[in-house]
Copies of this chain bind each other. A is one copy, B any other.
Amino acid sequence: MIDMEISSEQRQIVDSVQNLLADALPYDRFVPRPTPVPNADRAVFTQFGELGVFGLGLAEASGGVGYSLVEEVLVARECGRFLVSPAVVATMIGVHVAHFAGDRSHAEAMMRGGTPVAPALAFAPAATHFAGKYHLADAEGAEWALLWSEGGLALAHRDSWHGAQNMDSIDSTLTLTRVAVKDIMPPLRVPAANGLWRRAQLLVSAYLTGLAEAALDDSVGYAKVREQFQQPIGAFQAVKHRCADMLTRASVAWNSTIFAALTDQAEGPDADFQAIAAKILASDAAFRNAAVNIQNHGAYGFTGEHHAHLFVKRAHFLDRFGGDATYQKRRMLAANAPSSDAERSSPVDGLAG
């Protein structure tokens, strides 16, 4: 069974999320104002909660909706497309961390969307513990921060954020806060060996893929209507070929992400390998498509009046969440190849080897 097509049930989930986002969080919420206005996306987190976004992949017995990682990936991709605060991704993951750590009440509060979780971007993602310096993204109003290092994933309550300092953010729609965490091993945590980091990695990859896809859509839409030299710019081969390359990258990113998610679901021996590859490809697609999209828009793309720049800036945030491309490439080389000899020598394998 190789089924990478979105089922009709999954399509319904995607549609309902898209409807909510198109309604509550359209791009024009980023219309520039004289003074920077951070996003107010957390105002709709309770609506997300009601829709089941935050408990999507948690078993019903645990209070969740009972779908899987795959459905979470589909939702995270839409969040990337709509440039939703990455706190949405951190909250989705946070629910699992709280659940695994046995804290049902906090898990439930997060699922309701009442206690947003801010992504914590580690200054040193290669550390095997959690103490250290972090950047929190969109932490205003957040109750928790999601720490992520080679030690695994952990939730740090806002009371444990030391020396919080607001910095000018590269993305003025996301606040940026420097904090120090002193707990080597916070109580609510999941060790890396558990594999939850893969879920986190794939939600981040899905968000990055959403950025890459939305940048493509933005370019294609513009190329069809914007005229130069009496023809739509999409008729120029240079623009046309750039759009084709954007689709290629977005398609590679998406298929790698969903393939990795399905591998994780099937407990394939190459789940780590695929999750790392997906992040590298999704991050590359997001950065490059975002830059090309600005170029395709010309001077307009360079303004703050259009949202093209936000795809670039969000890519910088998400790239760092869980460790940036430099770090991921190092992990890619350290991972075990999918077609290892061990797998080969087994006459029958559970997953395509």
Contact = CB atoms under 8 A, between A and B. Distances in A.
A237 interface: yes
Interface residues of A, number: 4
A238 interface: yes
A241 interface: yes
Nearest to A239: B237
Contacts of A236: 237
Contacts of A238: 237-238, 241
Interface in A9-48: none
- Copy total for this chain: 2
Interface in A195-217: none
A116 to B, nearest CB: 45
Nearest to A236: B237
A175 to B, nearest CB: 38
A241 to B, nearest CB: 6
Contacts of A237: 236-238
A179 to B, nearest CB: 36
Interface string A83-104: 0000000000000000000000
Interface string A120-159: 0000000000000000000000000000000000000000
Interface string A230-258: 00000011100100000000000000000
A141 to B, nearest CB: 46
A241 B242 CA distance: 12
A237 B237 CA distance: 5
A200 B238 CA distance: 40
Give the one of A236, A237, A241 with max B CB within 10 A: A237
A50 B247 CA distance: 59
A12 to B, nearest CB: 41
A241 B238 CA distance: 8
A237 B234 CA distance: 12
Contacts of A241: 238
5 contacts: A236-B237, A237-B237, A237-B238, A238-B238, A238-B241
Interface of A: 236-238, 241
What are the 4 A-B residue pairs with the smallest beta carbon separation, nearest first? A237-B237, A237-B238, A238-B241, A236-B237
